[in-house]
Structure 1
Amino acid sequence: MTSISAAAAQPAPKLSFIALLIAVSAASPLGINMYLPSMPGMARAFGVGFTTIQLTLSLYLAAMALGQLIVGPLSDRFGRRPVLLIGLAVFVLGSLICFMAQSVGALIFGRVVQALGGCAGITLSRAIVRDLYGRDQVASMIGYVTMGMAVAPMIAPSVGGVLESYFDWRASFAFLTAFGALALLFAAWQLYETNHNRGSAESARDLLRGYRSLVRSRLFWGYTLVTSFVSAMFFAFVAGAPFVMIELMERSPAEYGFYFAIVPSGYILGNFATGRLAGRIGLNRMILIGTSLALASIAAMAAAFALGLFHPIALFGPMFFIGMGNGLVLPSGIAGAVSVKPELAGAAAGLTGSIQIGFGALVAPIVGAMLQTSLWPLLVIMAVSSLLAVASFGLVRDRTRSSPVR
């Protein structure tokens, strides 16, 4: 039996199992977004510049990128369940280190540990979905899972802003510690093994051979690059928006958290549309619509500021549609990438996620270094990322033009 038919033969997971995938997927986005309103305050508390505090974000993303390269193949070899449980335990440990940090160096170290553990949830939730479903259903199911998961970044800055206002920056990491511990208990209780081909990779050489076959696939690169450049738009915004909002626009951290909820609202809507439509109109059309919407939205944002509308709604209004574009592109792009070679779904999910997050780790410090007295560097970086996403889609179109893949 092929891996695709085997996946299709799997029984439909219970609602509690889908809830579990959402919970474990949410750990890392919470780690990225919850403390964002506290970043200017953290810089003042440790007596360092905003660029130094940006390292807590960029190195977090870099550690996520590295971790996913390891987590994916390990789950192909040893199974999804043990690797995910260990990852969640490491996330809890890293959150505790951040909570107790007395120096910015200790805080950065804790963030790296936190990221190495949290990346397991995102990577393995995608691989688990691929284990359970055939290719045509993967985009829809990833869309539904990430739609629920997107609630985390929607509420995280709002919660973080309130915690910062009433307590201090440590409160966010106390929250993350508690959330990670609950997710770990939930996973230990509910998670069953979905990788029935585990143990097929006999050695590190086999893992490298699997990566080599993915890297040689033009179709894999097309799907991976388009998701990575679309994600880079979002991570550039995440890196620069707190400075623009709090320092340049002189708004409060709580107000930043309130406006930020607009962004994942669009992402949720885009994922819902993917869940409903991807199976009917195909992965490639979803990607084309999403990348076009993101490009038009960044153009609208630039036009608003060029006309002198220096207001949070000019920043976050277009981001609603950029978030919607992400919700259309990411599930479809990820589904395409992990379906290129279904027997390497874990490795493909890890490599795709690593490159995707690695792009975020690259743009975040660039945004932090360039933002001084104007928001235009942020807009330029987002526009370039959007254009490159559109260009990368050409790899997918060229490769699938003569195939039945839509």
Structure 2
Amino acid sequence: MAATRRRGTGTNQEAVRRHNLATLLGHVHHSGGVSRAQLTERMGLNRSTIGDLVRELDELAVVSQSVPEAGLHPRAGAGRPSLDVNPDPDSVFVLAVQLGVDSMDVARVGLGGGVLERISRPTPSDRDPEVVVDVVVEMLRQLLRSAEPGSRLVGIAAAVPGVVNDATGLVRFAPNLGWSDVSFSPLLASRIGLRVPVRLGNDAELGALAEHIRGAGRHKSHLIFLSCDVGVGGGVIVEGLPMRGASGYAGEVGHQRFDNGGARCRCGNTGCWETEIGSHAVAAAVGCPDDEIDRLPEYLQPGTRVPPELRRLGRSLGVGLGGLVNVFNPEVVILGGVLRWVFPLVRDDVLDALDAWALEAPAREAQIVLPWLGGDSVIVGAAELAFTDLLADPVGVLARAEGALSTVMGA
């Protein structure tokens, strides 16, 4: 986001100042720390203006300043080194939720994107939305009780494996959870009872966001992130922006038709790609019982003997990736979820099938890689969604956040 120079009336000047304050905080948050000299260069403002903005954020207790370690930032000339501006993760944080078919994770994530604390539990067996929300609220309250005294919660966001609408908080369709038209965000907001925004996103889209900002897709304008567990979803970044579709429902790549005679998918169709490469298909390929699917990574360790069934699955993965490469022409495709363990074992099968199926030019440009954030891509993406309001208006959001935790910190 570009900075804006100050001009016009007092009202306009205030709007410009708050815009620049938000822009600067975004640079600090996404970089995890940046020098004042770098901020001056990135934002195109003079040093005194940058100094004033940093001072205001320091007074709001969202950043701190420090003398850089020797050699950390190159110096342009003589004199004192430019101070580093760092996010304060203990002062401002969000809560992130990742819902899965078999497990649920919640995390407390500080400004700067670092996961401070995380809790995992099995998803309730009946997956009833109200029961799921009650368990999530209990987990979130546990995280809140361990937060630093005086710290401020500025947002909550959840990642769901399905078709969602953030504007209404509606899970339109999540076949692997058995959900249809579930008003998830309003339900979570009412149960937790905090004066903070509760947002909702698709898991693959949020994984793509996190990897674009902090991971394997950093500095890439065109990328695809595959979230692969029981279901398969795709988050797509085009020209540096998420591709959401007309109503936010884009990216359901797991439901492209792959095999006319294939297995029945939970969406109701037959032969969807996710029935060929999802975690249940992987478990069947390596002999992992369905009731032990949480142990699937143990069956996929480096050096493990690769059965023919897993190699066939790798070829199915490669063919599907070839289709995505043909359609989207990405710079990088990032394989998340269970594919993080599958791909290293069947790399040659995947790439051979991709090369055979994809057109030569886009295939040559696309790299197939693992997520730099490991298993945290989706939950870090949910945290980025939760930080959206703070990064748009730090002053207003922090004013509203004061005292927001008073009802639960002692619960």
TM-score by length of structure 2 reads 0.27
TM-score by length of structure 1 reads 0.27
Relative contact order (alpha carbons < 8 A, sep ≥ 6): 1 or 2 greater? Answer: 1
Normalized per residue, the structure richer in strand is: 2
Which structure has the larger Rg over C-alpha atoms?
2
Normalized per residue, the structure richer in helix is: 1
